[in-house]
Chains A and B, each alone.
Chain A
Amino acid sequence: MVKPGSGHLLVRLRARRGAFALDVGFETPGGITALFGPSGAGKSLTLRHLAGLERGSEGKVELAGRTLFDGDHGIDIPPRERGVGMVFQEYALFPHMSVAANIGYGLRELPRSEREPRVADLLERVGLAGYDGRRPESLSGGERQRVAVARALAPGPGLLLLDEPFGALDFRVRRGLRRELRTLHDATGVPMVLVTHSLAEVRELSDHLVLLDRGRVVGTGTTGALLADPPNAVAAELLDAEDLG
């Protein structure tokens, strides 16, 4: 049993999408948690539930002791009030806005005098100082990813979700960005949940691991322990493949 803390996340979800049935339950104490599994395992669907972007499901989601979703009690906090940031698979940077406007989009509550330094600070954190006026279309894949991370962190979320954040990138770029994300996590302290089908990312980046297969959790625990000692044959098989594609 994990103690409720600042990054404690509890997830119990049941959902149907056509023939696909999702039935997952896990808890993590914070840090970086990887959802690992093959395509169609329900990783992205789980992530979208955490963000509040999916409807019509049963179960419960709690973050740091706060109920975000409780199907039995009709609680479903809308995405904009969840304080959960998300980095989308293709980053979903607003193409009609500058980099600064993208990052500042979630800071509308702040007066301009505070917004601008905050945007500049975030740009510096992700190594893109001076990129304020650039357009998303003029950025490389890696730069887009960093802008997406900065944008999601801007409103100061209690949890950051990343849906295959390295999936669209060249393998040479991936390694550097993995380290950057780790550094960013350690500097900001924002807990992260990351969807991936790359074992290298799991190993290098995550503290905790949730193994998913066909809509179910087949293993969960600290990354080191799970990698060293898979709890069952399915988990062992998943962790044996280097990249689940």
Chain B
Amino acid sequence: MELHPLALSFQVALVATALSLVVGLPLAWILARRALPGRDLITVLVLLPMVLPPTVLGYYLLLLIGRGGPVGQAAEALGLGRIVFTPTAAVIAAFVASVPFLVRAAQSGFERVDPAFEEAARTLGRGELSIWFTITIPLAWRGILAGVALTFARAIGEFGATVMVAGSIPGRTRTGSVAIYDAVQAGRMSEANLLAVLLTLTAAGTLYLLTRVGRAPGW
């Protein structure tokens, strides 16, 4: 039996989670700390992928990164080649579907940090970026970690949007959850069974690890 789908799922989820951190952390901080005009609208847009059917999400992504879409055309014009039906598309699908989980958890983590700590740091001569890394993030880390766990779990299980934009090319874009679907469709139940168990163990193991770290004493 082919183990590639599981490895791919793991890689895709890892990259999607890293991307979510890079994009989602600053966004979560802004939503937690700044009185922005249109804040509610931004919140709705960011959280929308949580409640949209994944196929709808995949459809929109297809319009965006497909060969006729603006992002897809730009990528081809830049010589990056086609995005759809590549592992990159699987990463994009997992990222868009899972980043809301990170933003939500990190935002509530940031909101629990007393602004007086950041203000004290300012009066002690530190710049904003330095304060972010030495005060804000370390104090919000439990919320951020919860976000990472949920984001990773969501990303590793992504199915609907992934099938739409990455397809199911064996050895290339067929992720674990997609492989299970294909195996069931083809009546290869023992393969589906094994993949399901392994995927469950991976997700549960990740959650368990993160929970353990999250319960570490002190800061």
Contacts and interface: CB of A to CB of B under 8 A. Distances in A.
A80 B126 contact: yes
B122 A53 contact: yes
Size bracket, chain A contacts: 20 to 34
B126 A106 contact: yes
Interface stretch (A27-35, A89-97, A220-228): A89-97
Nearest to B122: A79
Contacts of B130: 108
B126 A94 contact: no
B119 A88 contact: yes
B219 A86 contact: no
Contacts of B138: 96
Interface in B120-165: 120-127, 130, 134-135, 138-139
B121 to A, nearest CB: 7
Nearest to A104: B124
Contacts of A8: none
A94 B127 contact: no
Contacts of B116: 88-90, 92
B132 to A, nearest CB: 13
Interface string B106-126: 000000001011011111111
Contact of A92 (B114, B125, B126, B127): B114
Contacts of A7: none
Residue of A80, A81, A86, A88 with most partner-chain B CB within 10 A: A80
A105 B126 contact: yes
Residue of A81, A82, A88, A151 with most partner-chain B CB within 10 A: A88
State the main secondary structure of chain B at its contact with A: helix
A155 B123 CA distance: 10
Interface in A66-101: 78-82, 84-86, 88-90, 92, 94-96
A235 interface: no
Contacts, number: 65
A154 B127 CA distance: 17
Contacts of A22: none
Given A79-B119, A92-B119, A95-B219, A151 B124 contact: yes
B219 A96 contact: yes
Contacts of B123: 51-53, 79-80, 82, 84-86, 152
Contacts of B119: 51, 53, 79, 86, 88, 92
A92 B120 contact: yes
Given A95-B139, A95-B219, A96-B139, A155 B125 contact: yes
A88 B122 CA distance: 12
B182 to A, nearest CB: 48
Nearest to A155: B125
A109 B130 CA distance: 13
Contacts of A135: 218
B117 to A, nearest CB: 5
A158 B5 CA distance: 63
Contacts of B134: 105
A152 B114 CA distance: 18
B126 A86 contact: no
A138 B125 CA distance: 26
A40 to B, nearest CB: 19
B125 A80 contact: yes
Contacts of A80: 122-127
A52 B119 CA distance: 10
A50 to B, nearest CB: 10
A92 B117 contact: yes
Contacts of A84: 123
Interface in A94-143: 94-96, 105-106, 108-109, 135
A94 B125 contact: no
Interface of A: 51-53, 78-82, 84-86, 88-90, 92, 94-96, 105-106, 108-109, 135, 151-152, 154-155
13 contacts: A52-B122, A53-B119, A78-B122, A80-B124, A82-B123, A85-B123, A88-B116, A96-B219, A106-B125, A106-B126, A108-B130, A155-B124, A155-B125
